[in-house]
Structure 1
Amino acid sequence: MSIRGPNDDAGASRKFSADAASTVQRSVQERARRNWNVSGPDVEYMSQIRPVLNFMLDRYFRVETHGWDRLPEEASLLIGIHSGTWLTMDAWALVFDWWRHFETSRTLHGTAHDALMAMPVLGPFFKKVGVVPASRDSVTAALGAGHSVVVWPGGEVDAMRTWKRRNEVEFAKRRGFVKQAILSGVPIVPVATVGGPDTVFVLSEGRWLAKALNLKKLLRAETMPIVAGLPFGIWPELVPSHIPLPSKIVNEYLEPIAVSSDADKANDDQYVNRIFAKVQDSVQKGVARLASQRRLPIIG
Structure 2
Amino acid sequence: MEVRPGDLEALDPEFLRRHAGWLTQVLHTWFRADIQGMEHLPSSPFVGVGNHSGGVMIPDTLVWVGAYHTSGRQPPMVVLAHDGMFDAYPRPLARALSKLSAIRARKELALEALRRGYAVQVYPGGDHDACRSFSRRNEIVFAGRKGYVELAREAGVPIVPVVCVGGHEALIILSEGAGLARKLGLDRRFRLKTFPLSLSLPWGLWLGPLPGYVPLPTKIQVRVLPPIFPEGEDIDAIDARVRASMQRAADELAKERRFPWIG
Query: TM-score normalised to the size of structure 2?
Result: 0.92
Q: CA deviation at 1:32?
A: 11
Mapping 1:221-236, distance limit 5 Å = 221-236=192-207
Q: CA deviation at 1:244?
A: 1.5
Which residue, out of 118, 122, 138, partners 1:167? 138
What is aligned with 1:66? 36
Deviations 1:246-273 (A, max 9, x none): 111111110110123xxxx8xxxx7111
Percent of residue pairs identical = 33
Which residue, out of 101, 105, 118, partners 1:147? 118
Counterpart amino acid of residue 120 in structure 2: V
Cα distance in structure 1, aligned partners of 2:113 and 2:97: 15
Which residue, out of 58, 82, 85, partners 2:55? 85
Answer yes or no: is 1:277 the counterpart of 2:246.
no
Q: CA deviation at 1:222?
A: 1.4
Query: TM-score normalised to the size of structure 1?
Result: 0.81
Answer yes or no: is 1:248 the counterpart of 2:248.
no
Contact 1:33 1:114 in 2 (8 A): no
Greater share of residues in helix: 1
What is aligned with 1:44? 15
Cα distance in structure 1, aligned partners of 2:42 and 2:63: 20
Contact 2:37 2:224 in 1 (8 A): yes
Which residue, out of 237, 255, 263, partners 1:292? 255
Contact 1:77 1:189 in 2 (8 A): yes
Structure 2 stretches lacking a partner, 5+ long: none
Cα distance in structure 1, aligned partners of 2:4 and 2:167: 27
Answer yes or no: is 1:194 the counterpart of 2:165.
yes
- Shifted more, 119-128 versus 153-162: the winner is 119-128
Q: CA deviation at 1:217?
A: 1.1
Which residue, out of 169, 179, 183, partners 2:154? 183
Larger Rg: 1
- Shifted more, 148-157 versus 288-297: the winner is 288-297
Deviations 1:26-64 (A, max 9, x none): xxxxx996561168553235414632431221x201111
What is aligned with 1:15? none
Counterpart amino acid of residue 107 in structure 2: R
What is aligned with 1:158? 129
C-alpha RMSD of matched pairs (Å): 2.1
Q: How many residues align?
A: 260
Contact 2:195 2:209 in 1 (8 A): yes
Cα distance in structure 1, aligned partners of 2:149 and 2:15: 34
Deviations 1:198-255 (A, max 9, x none): 1111001122332333211110111111111100111113343321111111111101
Distance 1:45 1:189, change over 3 A: closer
Counterpart amino acid of residue 71 in structure 2: H
Contact 2:5 2:86 in 1 (8 A): no
Counterpart amino acid of residue 163 in structure 1: F
Cα distance in structure 2, aligned partners of 1:41 and 1:197: 30
Cα distance in structure 1, aligned partners of 2:129 and 2:9: 25
Distance 1:157 1:201, change over 3 A: same
Contact 1:78 1:148 in 2 (8 A): yes
Contact 1:160 1:225 in 2 (8 A): yes
Cα distance in structure 1, aligned partners of 2:253 and 2:177: 28
Structure 1 stretches lacking a partner, 5+ long: 1-30
Cα distance in structure 2, aligned partners of 1:219 and 1:183: 28
What is aligned with 1:211? 182
